[in-house]
Structure 1
């Protein structure tokens, strides 16, 4: 947020603090809300706890968007309010703050720290700049392609943490210091968006794919293979990658078309780094080992039993055993970002466990149960896109997909198009930082506010919905995907 001059009262900040409290109050203390009724006539009651979860959800969303207090502190409020208003026990609400997904983000940020400290980041950044040259548009394209490609073989959180320090090195050569610029916003927000776009292409990019395929098999008794998913997702992921490049060149056109002398400067700085060091080699091998091990989990049953968080935390432990990092590096980890995701996990589980999320999903999808099949599919995609901006994309899929797959046959809609459109929408939360770890990692650059991220996310989300619509109506049918039941 823009800081006010000393000794001036920040009315805007106070207004949004009380707006969040007001929204919480009117929802929490309102009379009981009507039940949600599914297509089979089953009633789902919105309990007092469920209504409380929605109330906290609205307060946190308001405070996060307008950044009235540090985003990590808003997350602490999420846990505290669950305990204070007896929505969930404190032991449960705060346990989510150390969920494996949160520790995965922590370990990913540690990898970023290692790449920066050892100098690997600068080495990679300078070599990339020598290749792409001095045009800022080509620099953005190079960053987007590398980010998207890497998410095909490793988790998008780990990719964002690895690419982030590289972007800092690139931006340092832009010549504007730490000052926020359009190029800086495009570089960091773009990285976050494209990490999502690339992560939909394989099962290695994020956990959401495996969860969705599990639901699909359980409900429809059909298997979708690793390569079948990639076949349908590859064109959509890469269409979004290139469209996002064009999007940022329009909405955040860099102030400079070229960075004069950048290629020569990159060559000079690269030569100054000298030969690759022992620590760079060790760090690179450790990270490569983690990436290979996590990738093999999809193919080797014995490795699937080992949680990916445990695997990536081994790298953190090794960095300290081998003295590549020290206690000072641990203290400099961006805990504000980690707390942000801890709070997001807590509110996500809260909405799920209290039944509030299912109540929302059933009410939303019931509005479209008599609609045209295309409208129904797009309504599901829109719901998943909105939910994944507030809670874990895995939870958004878990909430909406089972309900949608049950309703779909009544509208003569094939389950495959429901599955794939939901996965595309779940992979690209462009509105809120809590929607995906790369969003929060990018925020640490201080190139943009949460409000700016939200505003640019609106047209980006509209673009995403248009692409999903084109995929559903034209691309996937041409590729042979079943769209309607025969």
Structure 2
């Protein structure tokens, strides 16, 4: 079967699933433990069918992922799921604008040279020991994802890492244990670091947006980081130990690396006024995000405003130009996030998410809270490896929050566990852009990535249990509401 034949097969399969759910007979209502009945409406059935169509299209990329999102908006009114004005309103949700602002900040960092300066400085500091180089790359990657989208970080780190690999010796296009550890570890660290702040990945503000929509509670920038930064950083160091254990580097030292990094750093010269300006603008934006919940005048301001304002400043001062807007902004990804928000809200507003949640509840209604939390975490972990993490959050989080209400589980714990799992798809390349970027190094196969990701995935599942029993209650987030 040719590639084009397969593409048409999955296009047909997607529409077949949508039509199957649209025309299927009325199903039995879901009954919650209190005896309340939840009907699956015609629009709800079509909504589930549309989500499955989108999932098939996203997984197999039969059309560009952003175009699939456009299809989500178009097909909602066609199949009577929601009116067009409601379906497309979510495309400009403030959460999507927050993502756009994060991308603008990342591009500004790259344009003025801050990213390269930090990377070369790191190499000068860590020296030539391969284990220190790996740890340095992982730590730097994780740090950068605190203020940049992890896709942008992976893209910025890739050429630097290829230079490191070339200095390691031999043909950089041929796989080595060091190369496997370097690139797979970077992808894993990008995911781990990206859960530490709301700026690390699209799924973070998306999850917080859904959480606020469904619970009425808002999660602040600092509050989010306090809960998830320890999770992310423990994972970074676990990734390091995993990589040096499975892929022990052939060499203990990379001769000449420190000198090469110093040469490149010297070429950049002293820090420029432009770099200082960018750092200052981003610093002000971050401070606004962190402290807005403590300043009454700023509480009503949406979190997207500081980052978008920073982007506007960069355009006004010509640090960014229309060229970057047209070529550097991944509009395909922005559209993906828009469509994911749209289908997520569609599932909720049509009652489909609630019906699925209560149906699932019948299987785990007597489960202990920890079993429930790990079950949700496992579901998100599996889904986020097959579909984009924003889409995984958009379907799993509403379901999880409904179940949590009945089991008395703190919704914040559900939020943080879901975000952590959705940020670290360690099994499949399609789970996250850094995975695919790392694969471009040709240092590992998809099979090696999957096998390496199994112990990593089991480790983060275990961490959900450990943190929910220890750390989160210590900072005022008990797992069970009294």
> TM > 0.5 between the two?
yes
How far apart are the structure 2 equivalents of 1:113 and 1:241? 24
1:172 to 1:371, Cα distance in 2 relative to 1, 3 A: closer
Which whole-Å deviations, capped at 9, do the CAs of 1:313-332 have from their partners, x for residues lacking one? 11111111111122111111
How far apart are the structure 1 equivalents of 2:5 and 2:195? 38
1:471 to 1:106, Cα distance in 2 relative to 1, 3 A: closer
How far apart are the structure 2 equivalents of 1:254 and 1:23? 47
Which whole-Å deviations, capped at 9, do the CAs of 1:188-207 have from their partners, x for residues lacking one? 5224321344349x9xx955
Which whole-Å deviations, capped at 9, do the CAs of 1:348-387 have from their partners, x for residues lacking one? 1111111111212222223111234442343344456567
Find the counterpart in structure 1 of residue 401 from structure 2. 401
Give 3-state SS (helix, strand or coil) of 1:41's partner: coil
How far apart are the structure 1 equivalents of 2:82 and 2:209? 28
Offset at 1:162? 6.4
Find the counterpart in structure 2 of residue 28 from structure 1. 22
- Aligned counterpart in structure 1 of residue 150 of structure 2, from 149, 160, 163: 160
Find the counterpart in structure 2 of residue 320 from structure 1. 315
Quick check: 1:209–1:423 contact (8 Å CA) kept in 2? no
Give 3-state SS (helix, strand or coil) of 2:364's partner: coil
Moved more, 134-143 or 72-81: 134-143
Which whole-Å deviations, capped at 9, do the CAs of 1:254-279 have from their partners, x for residues lacking one? 89876542221101100111122222
Offset at 1:59? 1.5
Q: Considering only aligned residues, what root-mean-square deviation do their CA atoms show, in Å? A: 4.2
Which whole-Å deviations, capped at 9, do the CAs of 1:264-297 have from their partners, x for residues lacking one? 1101100111122222222121111111111111
Structure 2 unaligned regions, length at least 5: none
Normalising by the residue count of structure 1, what TM-score does the alignment of the two structures yield? Answer: 0.78
Normalising by the residue count of structure 2, what TM-score does the alignment of the two structures yield? Answer: 0.79
| 1:447 corresponds to 2:440 | yes
1:58 to 1:209, Cα distance in 2 relative to 1, 3 A: closer
Which whole-Å deviations, capped at 9, do the CAs of 1:210-269 have from their partners, x for residues lacking one? 976998898xxxx99999987775654433332233445567878987654222110110
How far apart are the structure 2 equivalents of 1:73 and 1:448? 27
| 1:304 corresponds to 2:294 | no
Find the counterpart in structure 2 of residue 15 from structure 1. 9
Find the counterpart in structure 1 of residue 363 from structure 2. 367
| 1:423 corresponds to 2:413 | no
Which whole-Å deviations, capped at 9, do the CAs of 1:40-69 have from their partners, x for residues lacking one? 111111111111111111111122122222
Find the counterpart in structure 1 of residue 67 from structure 2. 73
How far apart are the structure 2 equivalents of 1:443 and 1:310? 31
After TM superposition, list the pairs within 5 Å mapping 1:114-133 onto structure 2.
114-133=108-127
Find the counterpart in structure 2 of residue 84 from structure 1. 78
Find the counterpart in structure 2 of residue 186 from structure 1. 184
Quick check: 1:75–1:339 contact (8 Å CA) kept in 2? yes
Find the counterpart in structure 2 of residue 105 from structure 1. 99
Structure 1 unaligned regions, length at least 5: 409-414
Find the counterpart in structure 1 of residue 391 from structure 2. 391
Quick check: 2:186–2:438 contact (8 Å CA) kept in 1? yes
How far apart are the structure 2 equivalents of 1:36 and 1:252? 49
1:467 to 1:21, Cα distance in 2 relative to 1, 3 A: same
Count of residues in Structure 1 that have an aligned counterpart in Structure 2: 459
Quick check: 1:63–1:69 contact (8 Å CA) kept in 2? yes
How far apart are the structure 1 equivalents of 2:181 and 2:81? 44
Find the counterpart in structure 2 of residue 412 from structure 1. none
Give 3-state SS (helix, strand or coil) of 1:68's partner: coil
- Aligned counterpart in structure 2 of residue 243 of structure 1, from 238, 245, 257: 238
1:198 to 1:241, Cα distance in 2 relative to 1, 3 A: farther
